[in-house]
Structure 1
Amino acid sequence: MAQFEMTFGFRGPYQVLIDAQVIQDTEKFKMDLVGGLERTLSGKVKPMITQCSIRHLYLLKEVPQSTKEALILTAKTMERRRCNHHVLDEPLSTLECFNSVIDPKNSLTNKNRYVVASQDEDVRRYCRGIKGVPLVYVKRSVMIIEPMATSSVNAREGMEREKFRSGLKTRATELVGKRKRDEDDGDPVTGERQQVKSITEGDEKAGKKKKAKGPKGPNPLSVKKSKKAKVGEQNDQKEETRRGGILDEALGDPDAGERQETRDPVTDIIDGAFDETQDRAAKRKRKRKHKSE
């Protein structure tokens, strides 16, 4: 029934047209008619019977009276589908009655979405030619639903093709409208091209190699020089200046004394300390005399 629901719009509870022979066979095999229909159709059902089918039960002759009464009682529990044939002296056959109920205009469509439960092969053959008619019958105490008929399958495929075409047309209309909006906005690049462009630019950026990051060396201009080296340079300069002054004085330079007098007193202190250090180092280097034995 899922195929009939998607294609022809069937909904529960399903309206099931039942003929007199189905009622007789289910009573014969001690079957639950409504329960069997619900299990077969996988949903709630609304059993219906025509006026002609009830008259067929009343006209049974080769059936015991008790059985006939039980069959009529079962039929009365169902919803009566008026076929307007009760005015006739004799009821119509099941085929003629069902034809007037299912497809009165011979349009080959199941307008009211009936499910047909019939034991008559002629009735089922006729209903197979109408699009969208599920068929149910009883065989050896088993209730069976027939596969979808060829007419119904063709109708389903035609509807699917129509939906596919309408989807393509809708998509084409949306694309044309989008292009027109882009042209009106002055943007020659459509949304799809813009997407391709962004993907290409992303690939190019990803392809560029990035420089390896790591710890950088200190700025040489911001490095503080060592104090020891600076003090050593100052001492060397002072020593050269002092020695130069002594040499100039020995050679008779008249300005040597002035340069010597203008020296910084701090420099003199440093020089004195340096001389004392030199004298101590010389004394340590003297060899000690060992006593002879």
Structure 2
Amino acid sequence: MGVTRQKHAKKIMGFYKHNFQFREPFQVLLDGTFCQAALRNKIQIREQLPGYLDGAAQLCTTRCVIKELESLGKALYGAKLIAQRFHLRNCSHHKNPVSGSTCLLSMIEDGNPHHFFIATQDQDLSNKVKKKPGIPLLFIIQNTMVLDKPSPKSLAFVQKLQTNQLVPEYQKQSIVELKEKEGLVKQEGEKRRKRKRAGGPNPLSCLKKKKKKTQEGQEPSAEKKKRRKRKRNR
């Protein structure tokens, strides 16, 4: 494994760990195209991927992916055997299986709360994954696994987070649950009670009192003049 490629992967993993809270063991969802490419290029996914991601990894797939590989017959028999070794993640298509790509897309809805990686060679699926922020994408080039650089959508999402303009969906749900637990969420129909402010004295009554005091303290000007004359005569 090249040193440059390892540094590249480590830098990208740091981005997802820091901004999207990815933790070990890393949950990697694989489809049939990735398994087929690994088989063709003689890549040991279970042995090589943890070293490349620099951490423990849990390889997963879905029943829809297995069903799709079974339907494609002998050509993808080897890929089916590889996929069957992985942990099966429950999807919502038990009764009506869908294509592998559709199923994997459904697994990363609502902000990818389970922190899945997507491992695929399907270009159409890759393009759809890149339109969702916070989803690491793995693919195979020649005989090496590659962790794709963060998509423009992921970079824009992180930039908004840093400016406090956006909260991830799973965090919003956690905040709501915490508020409900602490009883901070007000029930519908509950009215806010306004506090009555302590009333101050009526300004008009104050003015009246001041006027009375000034009137009582004043003496008629005629009486003042008489007093002055008496003093002079003495």
TM-score with structure 1 setting the length: 0.49
Residue 35, structure 1, aligned to residue 43, structure 2? no
Greater Rg by CA: 1
> What is residue 64 of structure 2 aligned with on the other side?
52
For residues 84-125 of structure 1, give each alpha carbon's deviation from its aligned partner in whole angstroms, at most 9, with x where no partner exists.
Answer: 32312xx3122311122110xxx4x22211100011111111
Residue 153, structure 1, aligned to residue 155, structure 2? yes
> What is residue 87 of structure 2 aligned with on the other side?
79
CA distance in 2, matches of 1:86, 1:110: 20
Compute the displacement of 1:61 (Å): 2.8
For residues 126-183 of structure 1, give each alpha carbon's deviation from its aligned partner in whole angstroms, at most 9, with x where no partner exists.
Answer: 11111100000011111111110111111112222339xxxxxxxxxxxxxxxxxxxx
Higher relative contact order (CA 8 A, sep 6+): 2
The size of the alignment, in residue pairs, is: 153
* Corresponding residue SS for 1:144: strand
CA contact (8 A) 1:131 1:152 kept: yes
Q: Percent identity?
A: 26
CA distance in 1, matches of 2:120, 2:61: 11
Structure 2 counterpart of 1:53, which letter? Answer: V
CA contact (8 A) 1:102 1:110 kept: yes
- Equivalent in 92, 95, 103 of residue 98 of structure 2: 92
CA distance in 2, matches of 1:22, 1:45: 16
Compute the displacement of 1:76 (Å): 2.3
Alignment of 1:93-242 (within 5 A): 93-103=99-109, 107=110, 109-162=111-164
CA distance in 2, matches of 1:157, 1:84: 33
- Equivalent in 8, 20, 27 of residue 32 of structure 2: 20
CA distance in 2, matches of 1:80, 1:61: 21
Compute the displacement of 1:62 (Å): 4.9
Residue 6, structure 1, aligned to residue 18, structure 2? yes
> What is residue 185 of structure 2 aligned with on the other side?
none
* Corresponding residue SS for 1:85: coil
CA contact (8 A) 2:29 2:60 kept: yes
CA contact (8 A) 1:94 1:123 kept: no
RMSD over equivalenced CA pairs, Å: 1.8
CA distance in 1, matches of 2:159, 2:21: 15
Structure 2 counterpart of 1:57, which letter? Answer: L
CA distance in 2, matches of 1:27, 1:52: 20
CA contact (8 A) 1:12 1:43 kept: yes
TM-score with structure 2 setting the length: 0.61
CA contact (8 A) 1:48 1:80 kept: yes
For residues 54-82 of structure 1, give each alpha carbon's deviation from its aligned partner in whole angstroms, at most 9, with x where no partner exists.
Answer: 1122122352xxx72x4333222211011
CA distance in 2, matches of 1:72, 1:94: 12
Q: Which stretches of structure 1, 4 residues or more, deviate above 3 A after TM superposition? A: 70-73
Gaps of at least 5 residues in structure 1 are: 164-293
Structure 1 counterpart of 2:29, which letter? Answer: L
Gaps of at least 5 residues in structure 2 are: 1-12, 166-234
